[in-house]
Amino acid sequence: MSLREFLTALATDASQLTAFQANPDKAMQDAGLSSEEQELVKSRDEARIRQYIQGSGEGDTFLVAINSSQAPE
């Protein structure tokens, strides 16, 4: 599976997340991640990881602001 699919699975499957935490290399190998993807995860470079994930699917990543202060009266 792809890195994006792997991370998606970890979000909802506690046993897979546990396995990843216990042995990240084995969990990524068992999931079939490419060498490039495994190195990317181990780099812990969030910007590169997010850019890689966004590049493999639709949608933009952007910074959500869901609050806006009201101007004083």
Q: How far is the CB of 11 from another protein (least distance, A)?
A: 4
Residue 50, classified by CB atoms within 10 Å of its CB into exposed (0-12), middle (13-18) or buried (19+), is exposed
Shortest CB 7 distance to another protein, Å: 5
Contact string (CB under 8 A) for another protein, positions 14-33, x = contact: ---x--x---x---------
* Chain residues in the site for another protein (CB under 8 A): 4-5, 7-12, 17, 20, 24, 41, 44-46, 49-50, 53-54, 57-69, 71-72
